[in-house]
Structure 1
Amino acid sequence: MSIKKKLNRLKSHLSHEVSTKSVLTTCQSIESEIPFIEVWENEGVTPYFFDGSYCLIRERRFPIDQQHGIYTFSQFSIAVNAWNESGMKHPLSAAGIKPESFVFFDTETTGLGGGVGNSIFILGHARLSGDEIHLKQHILPSPGAEVPLYQSFLESADYTTMATYNGKSFDWPQVKTQHTLIREHVPKLPSFGHFDLYHASRRMWKHKLERMKLSIVEKEVLGIERKDDLPGFLAPMIYFDFVERKDPQGMLGILKHNEIDILSLISLYTHLSFQILGLDQKQTAKEMYEIGRWFSHVGEAEGAKESFSRLANTTNSETAAAKHALAFEYKKEKKWMDALHIWEDVVDQGNEDVIRLEACIEIAKIYEHREKNLQKAIHFTRNAEAISQKLQSVNNRKLTISHQEIMKRLERLNKRLYRSF
């Protein structure tokens, strides 16, 4: 970083009595005293001076046609534009947002717990800038330099949306806690929207991944293979060693680890968007089903029906579940006959007894309350009774509809039918 840029950053803090020459001398003096400054500069790291102290900043730029896993960075813009064209409501929707407005954010801390005893020592973020991805990492050289760390970070924090991996529960609360300690010295935290890709990934792939660590999602979902990567759990020990010895070699490994984390968030958001919007040609039936459930959960009926309908017209392990879920969508819209026909198909052709049992009860409800046909309501309730007995005899499993509930329904229907004669 040039001395001119450093002076510009200090300009608002200079009194009229302090000459540019004296500040120039001070900056040069501080910079010359930074341990291993030549090593840092060779790695693209420069000091940032503020309020009599400094932090370190590492910047890297990546072309948008660079591949990171199964996607190039340019496909991120395609995902954002697709959201803006879709009109669908969804927690990950980028409707009304430009690709350049996204900030992909991650931190490195001295521990996994919360509170003031856990310090952030790297604030990393990346965003689209022209035809490049601009990545910036703010490094705490030692405890006590938090003011320049956060000042430099907040100078770069002109954004409206943030994407993290478990950042809503961990990273941003940590930032808020640390910021509270120095809020009299630096700008206020900006307001922001938040896409937490951890919870999205868990919803999508918990059926096949035992753990939802970002590195596992990278490998199993995004096709990203880390080579010679520093294990994240070693980061605090390496940072403490750096604070003591000042040698940056270990820290450079942590910065690379953090860099991959951030770049992976771009590919992950792209992949999740392609999945949700139906742009992924390799999407599995289970993923399609989970997307339908997600749309249903957030009240996006058209998206849910589209996902479930695509599955309902196939023959795979999710077909019966998709039909069952599709019938519930029609029931929400009070399209009773549409729901009825689908559930009857589930009972006749389905191969999952739990779903067939629930479908029988739903059919019985429609015949009793909507069609006023008690005989058919009794018929399907008896079918449910038979399926319930079969399931209990096989594995004694606890069902969503108990055998006792079915028998109470059957008894009530028989009484109603008797009184109608």
Structure 2
Amino acid sequence: MDLAGKLSLYGKPGKPSGPAATGHDQDKSGESVRAGLELSQPSVLTFSGLEFSEISPDLYFRREVYEDLQLGDARLSELLVQPMQFLDDLLPVDSQPATPAMIHRNEVLFLDTETTGLGRGPGNFPFLYGLAWISEQGLIFEQYFLNGPGAEESFHQILRDLVSRFSAICSYNGKSFDIPLIRNRFILLGERFRAPPVHLDLFHFWRSVGGGMRKKLRNRSSEVGKKKGFKQKNMEEEVLAFYREDDLPGSEVPQVYFDFRKYGRNDRMHLVMKHNEWDLQGLALLFLKAIGIVNEQRDQVSLYRSGIARMFLRHGRSQESLEILQDITAKPSDEGYLEELLYGDRLLLGLLLKKAKRYEEADLIFEGLFRKYRCMQSCIELSRYKELRCRDLSQALSIAREGLDLLEFRGVEAKDRYYQDLIRRTRRLENRLHGTQSEANAAQRKR
């Protein structure tokens, strides 16, 4: 899809101009394949009011269209009016050679599965697929329930057709679990799963951006011992302020499915469906939040901007990372921007300035870190700068000795890497100074 086509997505704010602009009929994705699979006498499965229609033997389907949606403080209609909702800033610069440029939010397929186990091997069967995408109608949500492995072949036709219509997949930890599992299931049937060239795994994004926030929580006395992770439910609570009520724990999902298959018990199956539906709803809103945070990072708190800087650095965008770090460390005024995080950001900034060959600026950073925090990495960098750039061996040796004395006072072990580095550095500088002095004395005697 060319640039003009992508830009045509922007009609009125929050109202993308329609399915034709994205190269696929978004509101009817998979419908053509489903029509070819329809049974002459389809049955219906109902789980506490959730109705699934049979579209192929043992394959059941339901669809919901959310014109608006609110989870906690996050509202779909408000998030959709953000300008320039492309996800390029969330991806590495060189993610893949075939990666299309300017991927719009409407070209993203959200995916989540519910399975019979936790592994990715052939014994783990994904019996429920949740799929969603954003269109001019809102959020389109579809669920496919496979009442046994016999439904896989029919469903794979639908999944192949649907996935081919999108430029990217968005998941939560799907790179490590869902996608490898789906590929393995395709291989078992002698097929190949062709995923879009771009896969945005929000687990990695929020772990990066939320790192500073997590440190803040760990330092609150009320949070001691809770050890929150970066599961999707954790991020829904922190980012969306959404707390699931009566949600079925993921660990119980396999047993509920087994009870349904073996004993016909369906009293808890609706909880599995709702759990998957919440996963897709939360995934879509966390995705839109991620785009907004990156696109408007200058308006974000320093905690988030610190995480964005690190994400940009991992994605090969070191200059943008450097600029963000310079900005947030120059005047750290945010409440909750911890001293520990400020220290880490300044050290990273110094290393980036050094990499950019802006040695004098880096030297000022390292000098401040060594004097204020007694940072050994900064001590070594400072000594190295004095030796190699300033050609001041005496000053370089003095700084190295100061760091060595400090480590010995702390009682560090002899195998400590900073201690070993400073031992070697002081000996080498002493030898160089001794050699220089000897040469100077010899020259003096010749006179």
> TM class, shorter-chain normalised?
0.7 to 0.9
**Given the superposition, is the C-alpha separation of residues 79 and 175 from structure 1 closer, same or farther in structure 2, using an over 3 Å criterion?**
farther
**Residue in 2 aligned with 1:288?**
305
Give a deviation string over 1:104-161, Cα, whole Å, max 9, x none: 1100000112222111101111100113100111111234222223233333222221
Shift of 1:56: 0.5
Does 1:253 find its partner at 2:271? yes
Please give the alpha-carbon distance, in whole angstroms, between the structure 2 residues aligned to 1:370 and 1:409: 16
Does 1:376 find its partner at 2:383? no
**Residue in 1 aligned with 2:172?**
165
**Partner residue of 1:203 out of 208, 216, 219:** 208
Q: Tell whether the 8 Å contact from 2:58 to 2:150 is kept in structure 1 after alignment.
A: no
The amino acid that maps onto 1:228 is D
**Residue in 1 aligned with 2:52?**
45
**Residue in 1 aligned with 2:381?**
362
Please give the alpha-carbon distance, in whole angstroms, between the structure 2 residues aligned to 1:255 and 1:371: 67
Give the match's secondary structure for 1:159.
coil
**Residue in 2 aligned with 1:407?**
423
Which range is displaced more, 357-366 or 270-279? 270-279
**Ranges in structure 2 where 5+ consecutive residues have no aligned partner:** 1-30, 216-226, 333-337, 438-447
Which range is displaced more, 88-97 or 161-170? 88-97
Q: Tell whether the 8 Å contact from 2:47 to 2:269 is kept in structure 1 after alignment.
A: no
**Residue in 2 aligned with 1:420?**
436
Q: Tell whether the 8 Å contact from 1:105 to 1:163 is kept in structure 2 after alignment.
A: yes
The amino acid that maps onto 1:102 is V
**Residue in 2 aligned with 1:10?**
36
Give a deviation string over 1:79-114, Cα, whole Å, max 9, x none: 762656899949799951011111111000001122
Does 1:128 find its partner at 2:134? yes
Give a deviation string over 1:284-342, Cα, whole Å, max 9, x none: 53x43333233223331222112211232134513332222111111111121121122
Please give the alpha-carbon distance, in whole angstroms, between the structure 2 residues aligned to 1:7 and 1:204: 39
**Residue in 2 aligned with 1:311?**
328
Please give the alpha-carbon distance, in whole angstroms, between the structure 1 residues aligned to 2:32 and 2:137: 27
Q: Tell whether the 8 Å contact from 2:182 to 2:193 is kept in structure 1 after alignment.
A: no
**Residue in 1 aligned with 2:186?**
179
Q: What TM-score does the superposition give when structure 1 sets the normalisation length?
A: 0.80
Please give the alpha-carbon distance, in whole angstroms, between the structure 2 residues aligned to 1:385 and 1:332: 25
Superposed counterparts of 1:203-242, under 5 Å: 203-205=208-210, 207-208=214-215, 209-242=227-260
Does 1:328 find its partner at 2:351? yes
Shift of 1:399: 4.8
Q: Tell whether the 8 Å contact from 2:65 to 2:137 is kept in structure 1 after alignment.
A: no
**Residue in 2 aligned with 1:73?**
76
Q: Tell whether the 8 Å contact from 1:44 to 1:59 is kept in structure 2 after alignment.
A: no
Q: What TM-score does the superposition give when structure 2 sets the normalisation length?
A: 0.76
Please give the alpha-carbon distance, in whole angstroms, between the structure 2 residues aligned to 1:108 and 1:38: 18
Give the match's secondary structure for 2:122.
coil
Please give the alpha-carbon distance, in whole angstroms, between the structure 2 residues aligned to 1:71 and 1:95: 28
Of all paired residues, the percent bearing the same amino acid is 26
Give the match's secondary structure for 2:46.
helix
The amino acid that maps onto 2:428 is R
Q: Tell whether the 8 Å contact from 2:350 to 2:363 is kept in structure 1 after alignment.
A: yes
Please give the alpha-carbon distance, in whole angstroms, between the structure 2 residues aligned to 1:55 and 1:205: 39
Shift of 1:60: 0.9
Please give the alpha-carbon distance, in whole angstroms, between the structure 2 residues aligned to 1:114 and 1:230: 22
**Residue in 2 aligned with 1:19?**
none
Q: Tell whether the 8 Å contact from 1:6 to 1:48 is kept in structure 2 after alignment.
A: no
Please give the alpha-carbon distance, in whole angstroms, between the structure 2 residues aligned to 1:137 and 1:82: 26
Shift of 1:400: 4.4
Give the match's secondary structure for 2:147.
coil
**Given the superposition, is the C-alpha separation of residues 40 and 240 from structure 1 closer, same or farther in structure 2, using an over 3 Å criterion?**
same
Does 1:301 find its partner at 2:318? yes
**Ranges in structure 1 where 5+ consecutive residues have no aligned partner:** 12-23
Give the total of aligned pairs. 384
The amino acid that maps onto 1:180 is I
Does 1:100 find its partner at 2:106? yes
**Residue in 2 aligned with 1:346?**
369
